[in-house]
Structure 1
């Protein structure tokens, strides 16, 4: 597939999904994260169905998957400095 041709679409997908990601310090973070994860799952399923017709949707959702991995890694890795 034309991966390098669609890198800008992947970047746009990453940025959009990163903006709608739940914030860690919100009071209902667990519910928001579950809704975020479910929306990404449905987008992956839908974009895989229309991949032959509109490959841009697939690459946009790949950017969303990378954003999801970034959000999970950001949540899992914490740095603390003790004095």
Structure 2
């Protein structure tokens, strides 16, 4: 697959999935994160079904996977500077 050729779809998928990601300051973060994770799972299953006809769906969902990893890393990794 041509990742460089379809990198703009990966970037668009990343941005879209990052925008719909739950905010960490939300009081219902756990519920919203579960819904976000489930939606991404169904998107992965759906894109695997139509990958032969529309490979752009795969690259869009690949951006979603990268956004999911970013959201998880942002929530788990904390960097603090002490004076």
Deviations 1:23-73 (Å, cap 9, x if unpaired)?
000010000000000000000000000000000011000000000000000
- Structure 2: any 5+ residue segments left out of the alignment? none
1:80 deviates by 2.0
The 5-angstrom pairing of residues 1-83 of structure 1 reads: 1-83=1-83
**What's the TM-score once normalised by structure 2's chain length?**
0.96
TM-score (norm 1): 0.96
Q: CA RMSD in A?
A: 0.7
5+ long unaligned stretches in structure 1: none
Aligned pairs, how many?
83
